[in-house]
Homo-oligomer: A and B are copies of this chain.
């Protein structure tokens, strides 16, 4: 009798925990407001160490993380991120960098000539850095932390390079603001699976498919409001004409090329 009860409880607990597995990914939302509670150094270090299990090119770990906790340093970083309040409000700001400097220094100290001052090496290091960043994000969110990923990192990288004193062959590629959540925003919508998964070959999008895949997104009240407050006719216009414009993209592309040259990744 008690054995049966015991087994019953065990099985249901297993089910409970199993269904909760990775629940944080399914439930994830970007967190921009943080509680007045520090992120313990021990916890942060454990998460960074675990994230380093991520696959990495030739096991070289072509990344570095700069941890910003100092209020003055956050203030200096903020302009590079359009002064978004998360940067100064979050207890921790992480800047994740593509780093071929450390590996090159290792080579120089070991009678080997490094050859990593080129675009392919930047791509390899940026890849390592971004994969690491995402494993860290998953681990941190599973731990109850809230994150905001700042894509602005590659928009005005020179400010970040100067503030964090990044040497040649180190390039910032991602920023995370990290803290305990003080908000619980609604989850944002996603495109249907079929819109971004192709079987065997890439099937291009005609008008019919675009309508099919984007109609749900366009029908959402929050997106309709977004169009209205921006005084546009379509959601796509808000993106192409206000948020991510050709002119801005071209100006920032020129800056990005210049910065890659200055950091030694391009002739």
Residues of A that sit less than 8 Å from B by CB: 2, 6, 9-10, 13, 17, 21-22, 25-26, 28, 30, 45, 48-55, 57-61, 63-70, 73, 97, 99, 101-103, 105-107, 109-116, 118-121, 123-124, 126-127, 130-131, 133-135, 137-139, 142, 147, 149, 151, 154-155, 164-167, 170, 173-174, 187-191, 193, 195-202, 204-205, 207, 210-211, 213-214, 233-237, 239-241, 243-247, 249-250, 252-253, 256-257
Contacts and interface: CB of A to CB of B under 8 A. Distances in A.
B130 A134 contact: yes
A69 to B, nearest CB: 7
Contact of A116 (B52, B190, B249): B249
Contacts of A63: 196
Given A25-B54, A99-B196, A134-B138, 18 more contacts: A6-B9, A25-B135, A25-B138, A52-B191, A55-B149, A66-B198, A69-B199, A102-B195, A102-B213, A111-B234, A113-B240, A113-B246, A115-B246, A115-B249, A118-B253, A164-B198, A164-B200, A167-B202
Given A17-B17, A106-B210, A120-B249, A45 B193 contact: yes
A26 B50 contact: yes
Contacts of A55: 28, 30, 137, 147, 149
B118 A190 contact: no
Copy tally for this chain in the complex stands at 2
Contacts of A139: 22, 25
Contacts of A30: 55
